[in-house]
Amino acid sequence: MAHAHNHTEPQGADLTVAAQTTLEKAGEQWTTMRASVFAALASFEKPASAYDIAEAVSKSEGRRVAANSVYRILDLFVGANLARRVESANAYVANAHPDCLHDCIFLVCDSCGQTTHLDNDTITKGVRNAAEAAGFSPVRPVIEVRGRCADCEAK
Amino acid sequence: MAHAHNHTEPQGADLTVAAQTTLEKAGEQWTTMRASVFAALASFEKPASAYDIAEAVSKSEGRRVAANSVYRILDLFVGANLARRVESANAYVANAHPDCLHDCIFLVCDSCGQTTHLDNDTITKGVRNAAEAAGFSPVRPVIEVRGRCADCEAK
DNA sequence: ATTAGCAATGTAATGTTGTATCCTGTCAAC
DNA sequence: GTTGACAGGATACAACATTACATTGCTAAT
């Protein structure tokens, strides 16, 4: 393995610092608006839609923040690997380790919405290879699994 | 391999017959409306949105068909494996072999929209297994790859 | 033949997600 | 102080999806 993944997930302040560092390393500014959006995004424990975030930021800032501003910032975040889009949920999650790149796998619980995140490079490489074998130049694999999480399954 | 996949893709009339047979075997009716929606869906060479289909059916029937009717029928089709939803495109494709079940992989060209479909049970099993290993009960893997198709790449 | 029930579809309204366009504020370079 | 670059605001709108309720047509029981 190229790098061992201990993946102690940064949380709260640490996570924010990691995000800021990464964004600035990408040559982008860490503005107050971006910080607010990131904080809101990270505060959700489930994938959040742009509108969810707009609402959360509006509340915390005490002024109306429009969805399109949030979209701009989310796009920026996704481009800089600070956030990921969950396609099958039309929603976004903060990326706990923006410094390392993965095609990642999301497990989305249809019952409670809880979404967990796997890194399994064997699988994702398999997907990329299969796509290439079909003459396709893969850019962004979308690998998500809908189902029921352990908690919901236990109930 | 449990069954060899020659997958001579049914087309046109054959495909329609296969669809009808499958739907009826599932205990559902093959109505004229459903036939029209299926025909419209199959006539697109790229994934089609519910609104695309509504428009196509409206034109061919000479009357206005509302989106929600189309959604209902598409949901039915997806349930019966006559069609698949491409999550990352908010669109649907006809399933050329509704009689055999697969978790399938879509390759979606970001440049021309052309979408091809792979069956690779090794990969999809790997995804299901990984999800199960995480305590998750997988129901519906969503495996799609965004990128560029061979044709667009050649240009 | 009438009626009750049911499945399929129609109609209309509304909710959610995503973009486009144009404008304003700030700040640094010159 | 003017200019240029860029973040963000305001507004409108397009695209995607769902909900509630009405209507139609078929079939089975009476």
Q: What is the pLDDT of residues A23-33, one digit of tens each?
A: 999 999 999 99
Q: What is the pLDDT of residue B99?
A: 87
Query: How near does any CA of chain B get to the CA of A63, in Å?
Result: 32
Which run of H or of E encompasses A139?
strand A137-148
Chain A, 123-142: which have a CB under 8 Å from a chain B CB?
123, 126-128, 130-131, 134-142
| pTM exceeds 0.85, yes or no | yes
**Residue pLDDT, tens place only, A94-125:** 998 898 889 999 999 999 999 999 999 999 99
All residues of chain A having their beta carbon less than 8 Å from the beta carbon of residue B142 are: 87-88, 142-146
Count Cβ–Cβ pairs < 8 Å, chain A vs chain B.
125
Cross-chain Cβ contact A145/B135 below 8 Å: no
Strands (E), chain B: 83-86, 91-94, 104-109, 115-119, 137-148
**CB under 8 Å to A43, separation ≥6 — which residues?**
A56
**Residue pLDDT, tens place only, B89-148:** 999 999 988 988 999 999 999 999 999 999 999 999 999 999 999 999 999 999 999 999
Tell me which chain B residue has its CA closest to the CA of residue A110. Answer: B139
Q: How far, in Å, CA of A87 to CA of A27, rounded?
A: 27
One-letter amino acid at A107 equals L
Query: How near does any CA of chain B get to the CA of A31, in Å?
Result: 30
What pairing do the DSSP bridges indicate for beta strands A83-86 and A91-94? antiparallel
Task: State both tokens at B114.
Answer: 């052309």
Is the CB of residue B65 less than 8 Å away from at least one CB of chain A? Answer: no
Buried/exposed code over A9-39 (b: 16+ C-beta within 10 A; e: otherwise): ebeeeebbebbbebbeeeeeeeeebbebbbb
In this complex, which of B130, B137, B145 lies closest to A148 when CB atoms are compared? B137
Residue to mutate among B108, B136, B144, B152, with most A CBs inside 10 A, is: B136
Query: How near does any CA of chain A get to the CA of B65, in Å?
Result: 27
